[in-house]
Structure formats: C-alpha cells, structure tokens
C-alpha cells in the first residue's frame, strides 16, 4: 500500500432482506431487496444530504420506511435522477417513479425481460437492453419517456454505456460502438476470455473497457488514448471512478488504482463479499448481502502529506492540482515544499536535470541553489547561505493533516529522509567534496552541465528584469524630487532597487563558470560577447586557473577594461610561456586577433591603440596598415607618424601610401606633403650614395624615385616651392621639371627636358599634358555666350611655341634657367652655407627685377619677340650671378622640325615660321607646311560654303516673311463698319487682325489709350488692338491700283 486514499465505514448492518440494488437520494439510502420491497434508510440526525467526504464521523443509518410489494420481482438495478426528482428501477421491466411519493409515472411495457439499462444525463436519453434488442427512450420533460429507437445488436448485450451520443456495447466476444441514429456498429477490440464485458464512463468522456484483469482506456471512437492500462489483481466484477482513482470490486477486497499512468496500486480496502459498488455525487457505496459500507476519500491535503513522506513526489504534485481554487495559497505552499524535496531526492540520485527543473519550479532563490555547487564562485555581493536552507520553514501540511496522515513532525522528516534516499541532515548534501558520486570528474561535469542548462533557461527573463530596472533607475535619476521625498524614499528602496541587477550578476557569473567547467567554451564566448552582468573577480580567478584566456579577454572587453584585455593578448602572443597554466592550442593568439580587437575598439583612445600595436607591426605589417587607416573618425596622422618614427620608421612611407590609397579622392594635403618629403629624403639618400660611388645616372629610376615622380605627377595638394628648395641644383631635373610645371614655369620646365635631360619625348609629353588640361578645363566651363568665355591661358595654349623657342634659342633658354636658380640663393641657409651680404643684395635685386617683369607681363599679351628681346637685354645684368660655367647647348633644329611635323595643328604657323632660321631648307619644312596649308585651304573652302548656306537661308526667310504679309479682304455691298455700323461702300477702310472692317475715318478718330492701343466698343469687336497690326499700306496700294484701272 502506497498511502491511504480512502477510508471505509460501515453505516448499515443486518438488513432483514438480501440487498439487490442501492440508490442514493440526498441523505437517504434506497435499498432494493430480493423480495421486491423497497427499504428507505436515513441518518439518526436529520440532514438533507450525505455527510461531506472531509468529515471524519459518519452517522448510523436507521430504517425509516419499508414499501412492501414495490415490485413483483427483485429490483436488480436502481438510479436516482436527482435533478429531475425521479427514480428509475429495473425489476421485471423498467419503471419510472416520482420522488418522494414513489408513484409509478411511466411503466415501459416493451422492456419486460430487460437485463440492464443506461441513462444519459446530458441528453436525457435512456437505453434499455433486452437480449439483442436495444430500446432508446427520450425524457419528454413531463415525467414521461418516449421511445425513439428500436435497435438490434449483433449479440446479447452484457454491458452498455453512453459515449458522445453513441452506445458502447459489450457483447459476448467483443466491444462495439453503435450509432444510435443509424444503427451502424464499429468494432473496438475483443473482450476477455474469462470475465464478462465491463464498460465504465470516465469523467473526461473516455471509456474504461475491461478485458479480464486489464482495464483499457479508449476515446468515444474506440481508439486507444494511452499505451498500457490498469492491471488489476484479478478480473473485477465492477469498477467505479472517483477521480483520480479507479475502485474495483474484487472477490476479497476493493482495489484502488490511479487513473494516471503508470496506474500504480494505491490501496486495498478489506471489504469481502461485496455484491455492489456504487459511485455518485454523494459518495461511494459498497454493499454486501445485508450490510452497507461507505467509502470516504481521505482529504487531499492529508494524501499529499502521506505521498511526500513516502517519496511519491509525482503523485503528491498531481494531487495538489486537485485542491479547490479557494485553497490556492495552500496549494502553492504544498507544491513549493514538494518541489524542493523532490529536487533534493533527484539531485542525490544523480538526476541533475530533473532536479534543476524542480528547483526552478520552487521558491528557492538562486544563491541557495548555487550553494549545492561549491566549485562555483559567487560574487562578493552574495550573503553566506544557511547550511540547511531547504527544509526550514517549509512544512508539508498543517498539524491536522499530519495527524490524519498518522505522522508527527519528526517522523515526517525522518520518513522523508529515509524513503527518498536522502540524508537526515543537509550538511552532507551541501558538501559535494564528501559525496562519493560527485568526486568523479565526469559526474561533476554532468551536474554542472545541468546547472548551465537551468541557468540558461532562466537568463532571458532575469536579464530583461535587470535591464528594465536600470532603465527605471535612469529615468528616476532624471526626475527632480524634493530632498525630503528623496530622503524618505531612499531608506525603503535602497535594498530593493538593485535586486534584479544583483540576481543577474549572480546568474551570469555562475553560468559562465558552469559553461567553462563543462567544455562549453563557444557558448561562454557567445555570452561574454553580448551584454552580460558577470562579476570580474570570481570569473577572472576561474579563467586564469583553468587557462581560458580568450574568454577572459572577452570578459575584460565586455566590462570596458580594454587595456587589460590588450595586455593579456599581447602577453599571450609574445610570451605565452610566462603563464602558470600554458595556453592550449585553441587559445593561441594570432596577430589578427589583436587587429580585430583594436578595429572594434574604434578611435576613441588613440594612445591605447598605438601602445598595443608594436607586436603586430612586426608580425603583420600589411594588416596593421589597414587597421590604422580603417578608423572613422581617423586616428590623428601626426600621432601615428610619431609612433611609427619611434618604433618602426621604415613603415612611415607604407602607412602614408596606404592612407593615400584609401583616401585617393580626398587625400589631405598634409599626407601628400609628408609622403613627398619621405620619398624625397629616400631619393636624396640614394643619390648621395650613388654620387659618392660615382654611379649616379639621371635617367635611372629607383623604386623610391619612381614613387616620388608618381606622386608629383598625380597629386596636386603638395607645396611645390618647399619641395624645390630641397632639390639639388645639379640633379633630379625631372622632379624639378614637374615642380616648375606646377608653378606655371613652363619655359623652365621645358628647358630642363630639352637641355638637361635631352629627352625630347618627355618635353613633348609635357606639352601635350599642359595643352590637353587647358582644353578640358575650357570645355568644362560651358559658356552660354562669348562674353562669358573663360580667360584664355596663353602660356598653356602657346606651350608648343614655347618648346619651339627653347629648341631654337638654347642659350637664351639655358641662361634664363640659370638666372632662375639664383632665386633659390636663400636655400643655402637651409643647407648650412650662410650667404654673404653681397650675395644677398644681388639676390634681392634679381628677385625685384623678376617681380617687375611678371607685373609687366600681366599687362601685355604674350609676345615671343618681346620675350626674346627681354631675355637678351637682361643677359648682361645676370651673367655675373650665374655660378659655374656657361652652358654651351647647340641649336636643336631636328627636334624643332620634328615638333612642327607632329603638332602643326596646335601652334600658330606664322609665328613658328618666324622662329625658324632663315637658312633652313624648304624641303625640311614640307612635313609641317603641307598639312598646315591643306588644313588652311580646307578651312577657307568650308567658310565659303557656310557663307553661301547662310545667304540662301536669309533669302528663304525673307520670302516666307513676304508670303506671311500678304492679305486679301473681300468687300461687298453688305459689309459695314464695325464702329459706326454704316456700309463701307467705296470708302477708305481699315482691316483689323480678325478681318473686321472699319472706316478709316472712324478708325482714325477712335480714341487711343496712352499705351498705344485702340479702344473698340463695337459688338462685333471687343478688346484692344495695336496700331502696328493694321495693314493700311496694303489697302492704300490697293486703292491706287483701283484708280489706275
């Protein structure tokens, strides 16, 4: 026996006649006896209903009335219809009696010989079985029954019950379900071999069908609702239901089993020779031949105490759900205590997942649950947990319930400990180090894994509450409150305003430790990468002790401890052997990890980024450059360059190159200047080394020099004067040419190409570049008229003539270049040579003279002859300033002729011919003159054709104008003046644009407005008309012709 679910009490003994049937009518017992009499018993005290199940004392019943001859034969079946005040009996036939008169109101004659009947309270249907026939009656509401169906069963019916409007029948060999409306039957399954069929309706609408010693549960369609069934000790003679139990009448006792799987045995009531077992709303009645026993359910609270004390926690929890709604607080208390005890039992049995489920369903706080895991370090905000927090203050039942259960408080505690397998004191349970099972590492991992799953399932709700609490606190901080109200509220809310946050801290701290202890590193990393409330100290201690360094990095990162995280990463990368616990292979730090960390950090702390970039500068240069250029807003360039200068000076150029590549369209001028300075410094170093070895060649381009030229060629944000001051006078002519070109000194740049580098192709390419740029800029302006044309850059448009002059007048060009070098005399201060006062005076004179020349050039147009004369006239003034030997370049006639033949269409032929020496053979100029003259002739012919086309177009327009001015007006005798309304006749008239006529005199005398309009008031003419719209000249010409004819 598991526990006592029912108590049996004898309420009637020594009945004079053998009892055949029993009915419950309020507090009265109706006994149908074998002699056909009806005996009515009632309690000694007068009550209206049977005593409640919860009451312990049951009154003795005494005979109140005997109705002899109630039926001709023994009353084998009897049912009281409480709601309708009727009594249904089966003796020879089915009869309906009124209550309390017991008068027969309906005698169903066709039911003579019936063996059983079945009543459907919901639908008011009565089915009666008579051999193979089934008669169905409907209650008509006037204490009468009307036959509605007469059905035929396949065999003699031995058991019958209603199910959802159909009848379930137990015949000799099987169970069937018959549709009452159509009579169609459906086979369910065969019945037992030894016992008669038995059908019992369950409260949820299912049916319990007997098959020998097995009770099978099916739905109203005959389908199994669950595997297995109720297994009785022997084949029952009858079964009644009192949820959640089923009571079976056996030969030697009444057996009680649970209706919930696995349908275990609950109790055996020692009631022998029971003939009847009846269940109704008033209770359960068991009858022998001469006595009546009442079976009383033990109160649910008492059963819960018994089940919990015996270790049947599942059954105890199921019974708690049967407590009435008004006992909700009691139910919650009992369930809480059972969940805690059941969780302890499961934890001791090694069923950690189930134990955590029950702990989570109880009222245990998280810190109490975590005290079961000593290896999990809790935050310092957690107070020490009591050694026995689980049993204190959580009794399973009231003293009355415990006394009804037959247990004292001490017995209940000891029974709980002994039967559940738990220790009598929780000190042993709390100390896992002394527990043999959890000493095993694998067992410990299983326990911690269940803890991790439990904490993960609760984390979402806990974090949401913590975030909501922080939001409320932030809002409250923004609300201005009075000092008095603030002081009053601080004392009451100080303890509870951070409860959710503290719980989140405890949960996340324990969860991370549990995950790492059970090899769930990926899950721990995912948690740490998101918002979390982990406490630093316990997690850091655990991670360092177990070698989980990457997780520690994420912990630091989530708490904004970036310097600690980066220091740890650098230590792992540079000196992993310094750690007490060597990092595993999965914990190996690569340069990309540090780069990614710094990239995600952003430019909020440039010093921190640069301080932690030393190792990656050595191991992964390319990615480090990408890192420095990836921040938005960017890192301060000067700060980065200073850092590189101190730690990796050779990488400054690489960094600037990368920055210019990233910001090619909007590169700051400082970057370009700085990069140019670095390139120039590198080139100057290379040149100095080559000159020292005597191997310098102006035409050789090293990688650094090629980059320098590329920057000079493709960028414009640098300062050319500063670069010019650093260039040597006797070298790096190509670079100087680029810079002079940027300053607009095209003649000097071309002099370098022609007479220093002797590269005619480079000179021509320079001219092409200047000319093309000028033309593109002019076209891009898109002027709307000639007055809005952009100013012409004469230097750029005449660039080829300038090159031609450099070729044909080399001495003047070189002399001018040499004079330009004197403007760089102050550069000696930069190089360390201090100029003399005489040199300074001469330099100032040259500079002032050049300024005057430039100002004069702005006031006059470009003239090659004047430029040449100016150069010649100033030769004597500057010859003494040129240091070094005078250049002896010769005339470059071949290059000049080649230029004329290749770019004849881009220069003024007349000016070019004036520059050519007079002794040049005409044959050498054919390649220039022939296309020039051909193009000139073609242009002249095109102009003549265009002029003819314009003239033809002008004549055509004139002819169209003449046609448009022709006007014909028909005047007959009926036409009248639109002003005076008289006939026109042969008078002079005027014609309006709408062909309306008026006498010329009327038109002339018509008032004219100040604006020159004629005001017309004629009904046929309205509005105002311009005088120039009148065709008077045509009309006068017509009159003259008429007079002539």
Confidence (pLDDT) at 858? 37
Whether the per-residue pLDDT at 438 is higher than 80: the answer is no
Terminal CA-CA length for the chain: 152
Cα 721 from Cα 23, distance rounded (Å): 123
- The encoded tokens of residue 495 equal 């303890």
Whether 877 and 895 share a structural domain: yes
Query: Which string of b and e fits 427-444 if b means at least 16 CB within 10 Å?
Result: eebbebeebeebeeeebb
Which residues are CB-neighbours of 355 under 8 A, at least 6 positions away?
342, 343, 344, 345, 346, 347, 450
Which residues are CB-neighbours of 1017 under 8 A, at least 6 positions away?
none
Query: Which string of b and e fits 298-308 if b means at least 16 CB within 10 Å?
Result: bbbbbbbbbbb
Whether 989 and 886 share a structural domain: no
Cα 414 from Cα 423, distance rounded (Å): 9
Cα 359 from Cα 336, distance rounded (Å): 9
Whether residue 555 is contained in a domain is answered as: no
**C-alpha closest to that of 102 among 161, 28, 202, 51:** 28
Confidence of residue 46 (pLDDT cuts 50, 70, 90): low
CA separation (Å) from 606 to 66, 547, 642, 770, 869? Answer: 107, 30, 12, 43, 61
The winner for highest mean pLDDT among 65-74, 600-609, 840-849 is: 65-74
The winner for highest mean pLDDT among 18-22, 475-479, 1008-1012 is: 18-22
Whether 886 and 844 share a structural domain: yes
Query: Which string of b and e fits 160-186 if b means at least 16 CB within 10 Å?
Result: bbbbeebbbbbbeeebbbbebeeeebe
Residue with tokens 């006007």: 967
Cα 178 from Cα 167, distance rounded (Å): 5
Which residues does residue 976 pair with via DSSP β-bridges, in sequence order?
Answer: 983
Mean per-residue pLDDT for 235-247? 88
Whether the per-residue pLDDT at 419 is higher than 60: the answer is no
Per the model's pLDDT, the better-predicted residue between 772 and 833 turns out to be 772
CA separation (Å) from 1007 to 493, 979, 980, 992, 1030? Answer: 98, 12, 14, 16, 16
Confidence (pLDDT) at 94? 93
Confidence (pLDDT) at 534? 93
Whether 1008 and 1039 share a structural domain: yes
CB 158 within 8 A of CB 172: yes
CA separation (Å) from 125 to 153, 400, 881, 940? Answer: 18, 45, 137, 123
Confidence of residue 1029 (pLDDT cuts 50, 70, 90): very low
DSSP structural state of residue 378: P
Confidence (pLDDT) at 2? 65
Give backbone dihedrals phi and psi of 269, rounded to 5 degrees, phi first. Answer: -90, 125
Whether the per-residue pLDDT at 372 is higher than 90: the answer is no
**C-alpha closest to that of 2 among 342, 352, 263, 278:** 263
Whether residue 878 is contained in a domain is answered as: yes
Confidence (pLDDT) at 782? 56
Per the model's pLDDT, the better-predicted residue between 78 and 876 turns out to be 78
Confidence (pLDDT) at 555? 93
pLDDT tens sequence across 484-509: 445 555 544 554 557 888 999 999 99
Cα 292 from Cα 62, distance rounded (Å): 12
Whether the per-residue pLDDT at 379 is higher than 50: the answer is yes
- Radius of gyration of the chain from Cα atoms? 59
CA separation (Å) from 688 to 572, 684, 693? Answer: 44, 6, 9
36 Rama sector, left if φ>0, alpha if ψ -120 to 50, beta otherwise: left
Give backbone dihedrals phi and psi of 62, rounded to 5 degrees, phi first. Answer: -125, 155
Long-range CB contacts (within 8 A, 24+) of 31-36: 31/292, 32/70, 32/71, 32/74, 32/75, 32/76, 32/78, 32/89, 32/91, 33/74, 33/75, 34/74, 35/68, 35/74, 36/68, 36/69, 36/70, 36/71, 36/72, 36/73, 36/74, 36/75, 36/91
Helix (H) or strand (E) holding 4: none
pLDDT tens sequence across 249-270: 998 889 988 888 788 888 888 8
- The encoded tokens of residue 681 equal 């410094």
pLDDT tens sequence across 912-959: 888 888 888 888 888 888 888 888 888 899 999 999 999 999 999 988
Confidence of residue 160 (pLDDT cuts 50, 70, 90): very high
DSSP 850-912: HHHHHHHHHHS---HHHHHHHHHHTHHHHGGG--SPPP-PPP-HHHHHHHHHHSGGGS-HHHH
Whether the per-residue pLDDT at 126 is higher than 90: the answer is yes
Confidence of residue 514 (pLDDT cuts 50, 70, 90): very high
Whether 960 and 987 share a structural domain: no
Whether residue 976 is contained in a domain is answered as: yes
Which residues are CB-neighbours of 138 under 8 A, at least 6 positions away?
124, 125, 126, 145, 146, 148
Whether 881 and 1001 share a structural domain: no
Cα 916 from Cα 805, distance rounded (Å): 9
Whether residue 887 is contained in a domain is answered as: yes
Whether residue 1020 is contained in a domain is answered as: yes
Whether 805 and 894 share a structural domain: yes
Which residues does residue 989 pair with via DSSP β-bridges, in sequence order?
Answer: 999
pLDDT tens sequence across 713-769: 877 777 788 888 888 888 888 888 888 888 888 888 888 888 888 888 898 888 988
Per the model's pLDDT, the better-predicted residue between 665 and 842 turns out to be 665
CB 552 within 8 A of CB 540: yes
Whether the per-residue pLDDT at 336 is higher than 80: the answer is yes
Report strand pairing: 989-991 vs 997-999: antiparallel
Q: Which of 309-318, 460-469, 732-741 has the lowest mean pLDDT?
A: 309-318
Total residues belonging to the chain: 1045
Confidence (pLDDT) at 481? 54
DSSP structural state of residue 298: P
Confidence of residue 888 (pLDDT cuts 50, 70, 90): very low
Mean per-residue pLDDT for 623-627? 80
Cα 514 from Cα 355, distance rounded (Å): 16
CB 853 within 8 A of CB 870: yes
Report strand pairing: 61-67 vs 38-43: antiparallel
3-state secondary structure of 25: strand
Confidence of residue 439 (pLDDT cuts 50, 70, 90): low
Confidence (pLDDT) at 486? 52
**C-alpha closest to that of 369 among 379, 381, 357:** 357
Confidence of residue 536 (pLDDT cuts 50, 70, 90): very high
Whether 885 and 1013 share a structural domain: no
Q: Is the pTM of this model over 0.85?
A: no
Cα 240 from Cα 130, distance rounded (Å): 24
**C-alpha closest to that of 241 among 226, 260, 219, 214:** 260
Whether residue 824 is contained in a domain is answered as: yes
CB 143 within 8 A of CB 157: no
Confidence of residue 483 (pLDDT cuts 50, 70, 90): low
Whether the per-residue pLDDT at 1025 is higher than 50: the answer is no
CB 39 within 8 A of CB 63: yes
Whether the per-residue pLDDT at 31 is higher than 80: the answer is yes
Note if the bond before 894 is cis, omega within 30 degrees: no
Confidence (pLDDT) at 952? 94
Q: Which of 13-27, 524-538, 677-691, 827-841 has the lowest mean pLDDT?
A: 827-841
Q: Angle at the Cα of 477 (from 471 to 483), degrees rounded to 5?
A: 150
What is the count of structural domains for the chain?
3
Q: Which of 966, 993, 1022 marks a domain boundary? A: 966
Confidence (pLDDT) at 878? 36
Whether residue 932 is contained in a domain is answered as: yes
Q: Which of 134-143, 329-338, 410-419 has the lowest mean pLDDT?
A: 410-419
Which residues are CB-neighbours of 488 under 8 A, at least 6 positions away?
none
The mean of the pLDDT values for the chain is: 77
Whether residue 463 is contained in a domain is answered as: no
Cα 264 from Cα 312, distance rounded (Å): 11
Which residues does residue 207 pair with via DSSP β-bridges, in sequence order?
Answer: 201, 218
Whether 957 and 882 share a structural domain: no
Helix (H) or strand (E) holding 518: none
pLDDT tens sequence across 56-115: 466 778 888 899 888 888 999 999 988 888 999 999 899 999 988 889 998 999 999 899
Mean per-residue pLDDT for 160-173? 89
Whether 879 and 808 share a structural domain: yes
Confidence (pLDDT) at 879? 38
Whether 775 and 910 share a structural domain: yes
Confidence of residue 789 (pLDDT cuts 50, 70, 90): low
Domain residues for 956?
Answer: 921-966
Confidence of residue 176 (pLDDT cuts 50, 70, 90): very high
| Complete edge-to-edge strand list for the sheet that includes strand 283-287 | 6-12, 292-297, 283-287, 276-280
Mean per-residue pLDDT for 890-908? 85
Whether 939 and 902 share a structural domain: no
């Amino acid at each position: 026996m598991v526990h006592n679910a029912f108590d049996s009490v004898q309420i009637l003994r020594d009945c004079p006649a053998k009892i055949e049937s029993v009915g419950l009518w309020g507090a009265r017992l109706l006994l149908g006896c074998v002699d056909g009499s009806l005996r009515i018993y009632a309690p000694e005290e007068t009550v209206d209903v049977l005593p409640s199940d919860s009451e312990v004392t049951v009154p003795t019943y005494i005979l109140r009335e005997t109705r002899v001859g109630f039926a001709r034969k023994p009353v084998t079946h009897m049912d009281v219809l409480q709601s309708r005040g009727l009594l249904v009996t089966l003796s020879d036939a089915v009869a309906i009696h009124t209550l309390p008169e017991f008068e027969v109101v309906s005698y169903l004659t066709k039911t003579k010989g019936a063996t059983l009947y079945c009543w459907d309270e919901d639908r008011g249907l009565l089915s009666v079985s008579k051999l193979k026939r089934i008669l169905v009656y409907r209650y008509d509401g006037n204490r009468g029954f009307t036959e509605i169906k007469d059905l035929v069963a396949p065999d003699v019916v031995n058991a019958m019950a209603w199910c959802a409007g159909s009848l379930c029948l137990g015949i000799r060999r099987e169970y069937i379900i018959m549709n009452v409306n159509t009579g169609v039957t459906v086979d369910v399954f065969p019945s037992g071999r030894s016992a008669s069929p038995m059908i019992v309706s369950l409260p949820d609408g299912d049916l319990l069908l007997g098959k020998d010693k097995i009770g099978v549960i099916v739905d109203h369609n005959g389908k199994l609702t669950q595997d297995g069934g109720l297994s009785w000790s022997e084949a029952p003679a009858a079964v009644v239901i009192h949820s959640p139990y089923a009571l079976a009448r056996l030969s030697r006792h009444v057996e009680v089993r649970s209706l919930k799987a696995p349908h275990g045995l609950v109790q055996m009531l020692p009631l022998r020779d029971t003939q009847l077992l009846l269940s109704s709303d008033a209770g359960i009645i068991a009858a022998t031949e001469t006595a009546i026993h009442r079976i009383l359910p033990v109160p649910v609270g008492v059963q819960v105490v018994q089940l919990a004390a015996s270790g049947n926690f599942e059954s105890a929890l199921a019974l708690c759900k049967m407590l009435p709604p008004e006992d909700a607080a009691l139910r919650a208390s009992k369930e809480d205590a059972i969940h805690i005890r059941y969780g302890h039992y499961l934890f001791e049995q090694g069923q950690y997942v189930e134990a955590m489920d029950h702990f989570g369903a109880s009222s245990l706080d998280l810190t109490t649950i975590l005290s079961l895991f000593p290896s999990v370090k809790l935050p310092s905000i957690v107070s020490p947990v009591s050694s026995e927090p689980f049993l204190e203050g959580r009794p399973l039942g009231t003293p009355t319930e415990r006394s009804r259960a037959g247990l004292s408080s001490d017995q209940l505690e000891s029974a709980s400990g002994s039967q559940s397998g738990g220790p009598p004191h929780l000190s042993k349970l709390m100390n896992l180090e002394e527990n043999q099972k959890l000493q095993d590492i694998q067992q410990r991992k299983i326990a911690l894994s269940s803890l991790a799953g439990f904490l993960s399932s609760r984390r979402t709700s806990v974090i949401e509450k913590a975030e909501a609490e922080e939001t409320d606190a932030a809002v409250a901080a923004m609300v201005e409150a009075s000092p008095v109200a603030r002081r009053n509220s601080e004392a009451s809310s100080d303890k509870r305003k951070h409860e959710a946050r503290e719980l989140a801290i405890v949960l996340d701290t324990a969860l991370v430790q549990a995950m790492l202890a059970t090899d769930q590193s990926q899950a721990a990393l995912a948690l740490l990468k998101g918002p979390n409330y982990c406490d630093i100290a316990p997690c850091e201690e655990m991670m360092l002790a177990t070698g989980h360094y990457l997780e520690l990095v994420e912990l630091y990162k989530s708490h904004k401890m970036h310097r600690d995280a980066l220091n740890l990463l650098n230590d792992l990368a540079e000196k992993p052997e310094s750690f007490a616990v060597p990092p595993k292979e999965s914990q190996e730090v690569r340069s990309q990890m540090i780069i990614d960390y710094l990239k995600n950090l952003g430019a909020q702390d440039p010093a921190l980024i640069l301080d932690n970039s030393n190792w990656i500068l050595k191991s992964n240069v390319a990615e480090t450059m990408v890192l420095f250029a990836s921040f938005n807003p960017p890192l301060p360039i000067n700060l980065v360059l200073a850092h590189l200068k101190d730690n990796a000076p050779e990488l400054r150029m690489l960094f600037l190159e990368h920055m210019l590549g990233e910001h090619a369209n909007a590169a700051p001028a400082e970057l370009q200047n700085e990069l140019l300075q670095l390139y120039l410094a590198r080139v100057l170093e290379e040149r100095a080394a080559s000159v020292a070895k005597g191997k310098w060649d102006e035409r050789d381009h090293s990688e650094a020099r090629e980059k320098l030229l590329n920057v000079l060629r493709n960028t414009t944000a640098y300062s050319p004067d500063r670069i010019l001051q650093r260039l040597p006078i006797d070298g790096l002519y190509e670079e100087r040419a680029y810079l002079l070109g940027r300053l607009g000194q095209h003649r000097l740049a071309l002099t370098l190409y022609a007479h220093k580098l002797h590269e005619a192709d480079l000179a021509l390419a320079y001219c092409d570049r200047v000319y093309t740029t000028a033309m593109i800029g002019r076209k891009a302006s898109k002027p709307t008229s000639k007055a809005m044309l952009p100013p012409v850059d004469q230097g750029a448009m005449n660039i080829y003539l300038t090159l031609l002059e450099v070729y044909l007048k080399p001495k003047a060009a070189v002399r001018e270049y040499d004079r330009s070098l004197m403007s760089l005399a102050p550069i000696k201060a930069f190089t360390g040579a201090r100029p003399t006062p005489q040199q300074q005076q001469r330099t100032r004179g040259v500079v002032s003279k050049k300024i005057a020349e430039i100002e004069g050039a702005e006031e006059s147009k470009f003239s090659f002859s004047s430029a040449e004369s100016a150069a010649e006239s100033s030769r004597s003034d500057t010859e003494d300033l040129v240091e070094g030997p005078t250049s002896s370049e010769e005339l470059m006639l071949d290059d000049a002729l080649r230029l004329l033949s290749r770019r004849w269409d881009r220069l003024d032929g007349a000016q070019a011919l004036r520059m050519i020496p007079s002794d040049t053979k005409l044959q050498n100029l054919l390649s220039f003159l022939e296309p020039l003259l051909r193009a000139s002739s073609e242009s002249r012919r095109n102009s003549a054709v265009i002029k003819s086309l314009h003239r033809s177009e002008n004549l055509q327009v004139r002819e169209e104008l003449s046609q448009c001015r022709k006007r014909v007006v028909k005047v007959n005798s009926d036409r009248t003046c639109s002003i005076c309304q008289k006939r026109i006749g042969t008078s002079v008239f005027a014609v309006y644009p709408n062909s309306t006529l008026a006498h010329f005199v009327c038109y002339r005398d018509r008032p004219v407005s100040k604006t020159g309009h004629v005001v017309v008031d004629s009904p046929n003419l309205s509005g105002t008309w311009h005088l120039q719209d009148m065709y008077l000249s045509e009309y006068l010409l017509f009159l003259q012709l008429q007079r002539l004819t």
